[in-house]
Amino acid sequence: MSAIGSLVFCTDCGNLLDSSTGNKNTILVCDCCGAENKDTASKTITTSTKAASFPSLLRQKRSDVQTVERSDMQNEATIAETCPVCGRQEVRYSAVQLRSADEGSTIFYTCDCGHKWNTNN
């Protein structure tokens, strides 16, 4: 029998055996070939590492919070929307994902008269 992590496999046929008990005296019987296998999962050593153990330039640049500059969002287009101040029929807009990914985007409108407003899509 061989063990990978907490998974124990039959040495004869390679079938996944029932859950290990962690007791080295337990005998696990293979459902596929009927072979009896000693429970060696108790000999399994689990290790863990920290991200600092494997430094990389990419990991150092990564951040939990990403900042987007307004100047980077030059994606305005025009739309047939009426300005509530001057009544102009065509205004510029841009869509930005400000909330979580499963929620709609926020639409920012800008009119030539200088009025700005937004709506949550």
Asked whether residue 111 is marked as a ligand-binding residue, the answer is: yes
From CA 117, how far away is CA 113, in angstroms rounded? 12
Kindly tell me the burial class for residue 35, based on how many C-beta atoms sit within 10 Å of its own C-beta (0-12, 13-18, 19 or more): middle
From CA 43, how far away is CA 5, in angstroms rounded? 10
Tokens 């600092």 sit at which residue? 52
Identify the bridge partners of residue 38 per DSSP, sorted by sequence position.
Answer: 27
- Short-list 115, 68, 74, CA closest to 95: 74
Asked whether residue 83 is marked as a ligand-binding residue, the answer is: yes
Asked whether residue 32 is marked as a ligand-binding residue, the answer is: no
Tokens 């124990």 sit at which residue? 8
Q: Which residues are annotated as a binding site for Zn(2+)?
A: 10, 13, 30, 33, 83, 86, 111, 113
Q: Which residues are annotated as a binding site?
A: 10, 13, 30, 33, 83, 86, 111, 113
